[in-house]
Chains A and B, each alone.
Chain A
Amino acid sequence: MAASQIHIKPKRFILFELLNRLGNNEALIGYLFILPSLIGFAIFFAYPAVRAVYISFLDWNLLTDAKYVGLENYQTLFDDKRFWDSLQVTVLYVLWNIPLQTVLAIFMAVMLERFSTITSSIMRGIMILPWLMPNVVVALLWLWILDPSIGLMNEFLKAMGIGRQPFMGSPDQAIQSIAGINIWRHVGYTSILVFAGLKTIPKSLYEAAAMDGADDLMQFRKITLPLLRPVLVFVLVTSVIGSFQVFDTVAVTTGGGPAGSTRVIIYYIYQQVFERRIKMGMATAASVVLFSILITVTIVQMRLLRSGESDLADYQ
């Protein structure tokens, strides 16, 4: 008892001190700053994700009692040819989508730099237009344009003297067509991000290079590309992650067909839930696998691109 009475004073002192130092306590302020986002993250991202991992060990349709089955879902998944096919299709999609989109975006951004400020900002306004359209509508619009028999694209190709193409009607062109549609929607957006990165490169570097007789192409290779790297890391990391999760376009245009040639991984997961009597265990197991793949790909990407470093220092 006596002891506690003795402690009253210092306690009060500590409290006072705490309040006094609140404005300066870095750690506390730091946590306060991230608190709202932490709540949002915990409830709407972390909790469902952790729960998904747990569900992946269950045989559960969300309606009747769940049964713990250990690794059985993963076993079934790895034995399912359609699962491996869907991974392959997804990788194929990413390979068609990302390189082309990134190259076109860089090209457009570099070209924009050549125009006056006003012209280039009007052009940027135009470039972002496709991105303003909802995904689902974009897919419907292109389903229409790319229809093999009554679509406009084949009329256009005919006028150019190129034969009719089946586009999404053939397993050989379906995933490429879907990649094309998404490139159309995202290239302008990506290009604007790249453009912003271009503006951070000091003009003096180009002037110096021009003095040394470097032509446009060489300047691009020696200055633009290396200095653009930090922006490219951001663009690539986020667009690769997005690309692996392509779904809307597939659902609207091909529904995974023809003959499973566009059944991407998220569509496979979707089918487990909505076309296979709510197999949550399988769906979440596949999601966990996809998640692991994405983490690996992202870490590898960041390593390869040495994201933390900037080459600007080498030039200064």
Chain B
Amino acid sequence: MTITQQAMGIQSPKQTRVRGGQILSYLVLLALFFITLFPFWWVLRTALTSPASVFSHTSSLTPVNPTTQNFERVLGLVDTEDLVGDGVVTSYMSTATLDFWVFLRNSFIVAGTITLGQTFFSSMAAYAFARIKFPLRDTVFFIYLTGLMIPSIVLFIPNFVFIRELDWIGTYQGIIAPTFLMTPFAVFFMRQFFLGLNKDLEEAAIIDGATRIGLFWRIALPLVKGPLLTLAILTFIGSWNEYLWPLLVGRDEHVRVLTVALGIFREQTPQGAPDWAGLMAGTAVSIVPAIVIFIFFGRKVVDSIQFSGFK
């Protein structure tokens, strides 16, 4: 007892120092959150600013000549032909609209399908790599891993040629195909979790006469549902934000996704001078679905990830 008290006594000056350090840590955290959030306000502020005022009052923290016109333009609520008809002065802003609902639907179809396919097939592979013994298993896994390191720029052109040979340019399956069956990241990610699973459960099930497929579907998969959902969301958002590949394969308006539409919207006047106000309105609108999805599942995901060990 006395020893403990003594220790406490000695600690007291130390503790005030620790408290000071703690306050500092909280302040730094606060600053980091400010830095994280502020640009989002800037997006919104610019989106609500009148296009003519975008470059003046650049340091104003609130919208200048506030208007919802940018959002209306992006969402196609105003007729762009009318804007052009107003006279030459309108040519400083992009007259393109985003056919928002169509592009939104396309983004959902593309990102959703990729997510379902990739998480499922990658999990299957990951389970096999973690739990099933077969010849060349570790070699194949290592080769998968090296796939992470291939610069994606070298994959684009051969893949594009292949998709074209299938006559899939301008189709959903053309955009989806390369990442539908797997990505090295997804396999790597899921394998870590399957490795950490307790083997006892499976061994008990084997004694009960369960097959491998049954083990995977009924026992392993439910046990990793947290990571699985995490991977699903990571994949969904990743595919949602993908730009270059859908730009090459899916420019066609029927299958154009939101990022591509936004990219096309971005650089409308020939050299330089993008329509910032419109672009920011488009950005604000395009990240809403991702945020909604994250709010919907996000909490569950971040709470349920359990890194059961990386091996």
Query: Which residues of A are interface residues toward B (Cβ below 8 A)?
Result: 23-24, 26-31, 33-34, 36-41, 43-49, 51-52, 62, 104, 107-108, 111, 117, 121, 123-137, 140-142, 144-145, 150-152, 155, 184, 187-188, 192-193, 195-197, 199-200, 213, 215-217, 230-231, 233-234, 238, 241, 245, 247-248, 266, 269-270, 273, 280, 283-284, 287, 290-291, 294-295, 298, 307-308, 310, 312
Contact = CB atoms under 8 A, between A and B. Distances in A.
Interface of B: 7, 11, 14, 18, 21-22, 25-26, 28-29, 32-33, 35-37, 39-40, 42-43, 46, 55, 58-59, 121-122, 124-125, 127-129, 132-135, 137, 140, 143-155, 157-159, 162, 177-182, 184-185, 187-189, 192, 211-213, 216, 237, 241, 243, 259, 262-263, 266, 274, 276, 279-280, 283, 286-287, 290-291, 294-295, 298-299, 302-303, 305-311
B36 A127 contact: yes
A118 to B, nearest CB: 9
Given A45-B150, A141-B42, A126 B33 contact: yes
B310 A307 contact: yes
B154 A294 contact: no
A34 B166 CA distance: 24
B153 A126 contact: no
B128 A33 contact: yes
B29 A49 contact: no
B152 A137 contact: no
Given A37-B187, A107-B28, A145-B39, A134 B181 contact: no
A151 B151 CA distance: 33
Given A132-B287, A135-B241, A135-B243, 20 more contacts: A24-B211, A26-B134, A26-B212, A30-B137, A33-B127, A34-B128, A39-B181, A44-B177, A44-B178, A46-B143, A121-B299, A123-B33, A125-B298, A129-B291, A132-B291, A136-B262, A136-B263, A137-B279, A196-B306, A266-B153
A137 B283 contact: yes
B310 A231 contact: yes
B186 to A, nearest CB: 9
Given A43-B162, A121-B303, A215 B152 contact: no
10 contacts: A52-B154, A52-B158, A111-B29, A133-B241, A230-B309, A273-B157, A287-B151, A287-B153, A291-B150, A310-B311
Contacts of B132: 26, 29-30, 33
Contacts of A184: 35-36, 39
B125 A37 contact: yes
A71 B153 CA distance: 21
B310 A238 contact: no
A247 B185 CA distance: 19
A245 B21 CA distance: 37
Contacts of A266: 151, 153
B134 A111 contact: no
A10 B21 CA distance: 79
A123 B302 CA distance: 11
Contacts of B276: 144
B265 to A, nearest CB: 11
A280 B161 CA distance: 14
Contacts of A217: 18, 21
A149 to B, nearest CB: 9
Contacts of A231: 307, 310
A285 to B, nearest CB: 10
B159 A133 contact: no
Contact of A47 (B32, B158, B179): B158
Given A41-B147, A238-B148, A230 B134 contact: no
B198 to A, nearest CB: 14
B150 A49 contact: yes
A298 B159 CA distance: 26
Can you list the 6 inter-chain pairs with the closest CB atoms, starting with the nearest?
A: A40-B181, A30-B134, A230-B310, A33-B128, A196-B305, A48-B158
B279 A140 contact: yes
Given A125-B295, A136-B243, A152-B58, A294 B212 contact: no
A253 to B, nearest CB: 13
A194 to B, nearest CB: 9
Given A200-B306, A284-B154, A294-B149, A30 B133 contact: yes
Contacts of B22: 216
Residue of A125, A151, A307 contacting most chain B CB atoms (<10 Å): A125
B125 A34 contact: yes
Given A30-B133, A188-B36, A37 B122 contact: yes
Contacts of A197: 307
Given A26-B132, A107-B28, A132 B294 contact: yes
Contacts of A141: 39, 42-43, 280, 283
Nearest to B28: A107
Contacts of B286: 134, 137
B40 to A, nearest CB: 7
B247 to A, nearest CB: 10
Given A48-B154, A49-B155, A231-B310, A121 B42 contact: no
B262 A308 contact: no
B149 A241 contact: yes
Contacts of A123: 33
A34 B140 contact: yes
Contacts of A107: 25, 28-29
A91 B211 CA distance: 49
B43 A234 contact: no
A216 B266 CA distance: 48
B308 A200 contact: yes
Nearest to B283: A137
